[in-house]
């Protein structure tokens, strides 16, 4: 008989998040129940509820993980930025990767944004994630740009992030990402003009 290995708390939470992702992508956020999530895990009902009391809690954790994923992309781009790339080029690269990313978090992010209208905690999480992204990005450029450029960057950050979130939202809701991809150069010109 095989040896039994007890999963760690993090392994269990990761399994539940992955099950949540699968259920949300198949059924949508509003239609997914805890029973749906539980059915995609190897854990008991009590084992899942020990860590998450609702699909909302799972979605919030998934969004935090998605932001960590975005931060890792930023850190990878820091390598490119260290090679004397100007700020506009780095910003265009970052926003381009956000707009045209084909990762699992994009569709989930749209579900999350939809719920922000009705859920203050999710809206507050959005603001925190937005602020965290800004701070991470600022840390990449702080020593490479003038104080005036940094000030302009800070003034325009929320506008451009929300503008791009709107494009991501529309692209996923209408399933028309291609129209934005086909006009990628125009979008990059808009971003360059803002900064």
Average pLDDT of the residues of the chain: 84
Q: Give the pLDDT of residue 43.
A: 93
Digit-coded pLDDT (tens) for 113-156: 999 999 999 999 999 988 888 888 788 777 777 788 788 888 88
3 state SS of 3: coil
Return the CATH fold of 1-53: Arc Repressor Mutant, subunit A (1.10.10)
- Joined together, the tokens standing for residue 144 give 């490479």
Q: Look at residue 84 in the predicted model and tell me its pLDDT.
A: 65
Question: So where are the chain's domains?
Answer: 1-53, 59-194
Q: What is the CA radius of gyration of the chain?
A: 19
CA gap 55, 31 in Å, rounded: 10
Is residue 158's pLDDT more than 90?
no
- DSSP labels, 30-65: TT--HHHHHHTSSS-HHHHHTT-SSHHHHHHHHHHH
């Amino acid at each position: 008989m095989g040896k039994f290995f007890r999963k760690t708390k993090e392994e269990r939470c990761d399994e539940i998040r992955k099950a949540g992702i699968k259920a949300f992508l198949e059924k949508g956020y509003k239609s997914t129940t805890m029973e749906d999530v539980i059915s995609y895990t190897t854990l008991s009902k009590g084992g899942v509820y020990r860590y998450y009391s609702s699909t909302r809690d799972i979605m919030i954790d998934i969004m935090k993980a998605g932001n960590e994923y975005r931060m890792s992309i930023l850190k990878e781009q820091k390598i490119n930025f260290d090679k004397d790339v100007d700020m506009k080029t780095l910003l265009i690269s970052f926003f381009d990767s956000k707009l045209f990313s084909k990762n699992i978090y994009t569709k989930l992010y749209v579900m999350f944004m939809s719920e922000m209208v009705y859920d203050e905690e999710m809206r507050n999480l959005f603001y925190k994630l937005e602020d965290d992204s800004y701070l991470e990005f600022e840390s990449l450029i702080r020593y490479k740009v003038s104080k005036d450029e940094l000030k302009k960057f800070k003034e325009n950050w929320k506008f451009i992030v929300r503008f791009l979130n709107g494009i991501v939202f529309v692209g996923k809701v209408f399933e028309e990402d291609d129209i934005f991809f086909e006009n990628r150069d125009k979008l990059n010109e808009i971003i360059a003009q803002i900064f």
